[in-house]
Amino acid sequence: MSEKKKKEQKKSGDEAAKARSKNNVKTKAKHSTRVVLPPDEVRYTKGYPYNNRELSWIDFNARVLEEAFEKENPPLERVRFLAITASNLDEFFMVRVAGVMDRMHSNPDAKDESGMTFAEQFEKLTVKIHEFVKKQYSCLSRSIMPELKKQNLRFLRINDLNKSQKKAIDEYFNKFIFPVLTPLAVDTSRPFPLLANKSLNIAVRLHKEGENIFAVVQVPSILPRFFEVKADSGRAFVMLEDIIISRLSELFELYKIQAYCPFRITRDSDLDIDEDADDLLVEIEHSLKLRQRGDPVRLEISSKCDEALKEFLVQMLGVSDKEIYEVSGYIDLTFFSKFGGIDGLDALRFKAITPVSPPADFYGYDDIFEAIRAKDRMVHHPYESFDAVIRFINQAANDQNVLAIKQTLYRVSGNSPVIAALIKAAENGKQVTVLVELKARFDEENNIGWAKKLEKAGCHVIYGLAGLKTHCKILLVVRREADGIRRYLHMGTGNYNDITARFYTDIGMFTCDEKFGEDASSLFNVITGYSAPPDYHKMKVAPTGLRTFFEEMIINETENALAGLPSGITAKVNSLVDPEIITLLYKASQAGVRITLIVRGICCLVPGVKGISENIEVRSIVGQLLEHSRIFIFENAGRKKLYMGSADWMQRNLDKRVELVFPVEDEELIERSFDIINTMLRDVVNTRIQSSDTTYELIDRRGKKLHNCQWEFSDAAKKALNAKKSAAKVTKDDGTFIPLTSSHSSSSDE
Which residues are catalytically annotated? Answer: 471
**Distant-in-sequence, close-in-space partners of 515: CB < 8 Å, separation ≥ 6:** 537, 538
202, 298, 326, 444 from 198: Cα distances, Å: 13, 10, 16, 18
- For 564-588, give the DSSP string: T----EEEEES-B--HHHHHHHHHH
Asked whether 664 and 653 are in contact (CB, 8 A), the reply is no
Cα distance between residue 569 and residue 186, in whole Å: 62
| Packing angle of the helix pair 118-138, 75-91 (nearest 10 deg) | 160
Q: Are 371 and 365 within 8 A, CB to CB?
A: yes
Phi/psi of residue 419, each to 5°? -60, -45
What three-state secondary structure class fits 52?
Answer: coil
Q: Can you tell me whether residue 647 is helix, strand or coil?
A: coil
The DSSP bridge partners found for residue 600 are none
Q: In what order do the strands lie in the sheet with 235-239?
A: 153-155, 235-239, 226-229
Report the C-alpha gap between 574 and 236 in whole angstroms.
39
Three-state SS string over 177-210 comes to HHHHCCEEEECCCCCCCCCCCCCEEEEEEEEECC
Indicate the DSSP class of residue 468.
B
Q: Which residues of 544-558 are buried (b: 16+ CB within 10 A; e: fewer)?
A: ebbbebbbebbebbb
Is 572 in contact with 683 (CB distance < 8 Å)? no
Q: At what angle do helices 53-69 and 75-91 cross, to 10 degrees?
A: 160
Q: Amino acid identity of 284?
A: I
Amino acid at 213: I
Residue 358: asked if its preceding bond is cis (omega within 30°), the reply is yes
3-class secondary structure per residue, 683-713: CCCCEEEECCCCCEEECCCCCCCCCCHHHHH
Whole-number CA gyration radius for the chain? 28
Amino acid identity for residue 55 in this structure = L
Question: Which residue from 398, 364, 357, 397 is spatially nearest to 379, judged by alpha carbons?
Answer: 357
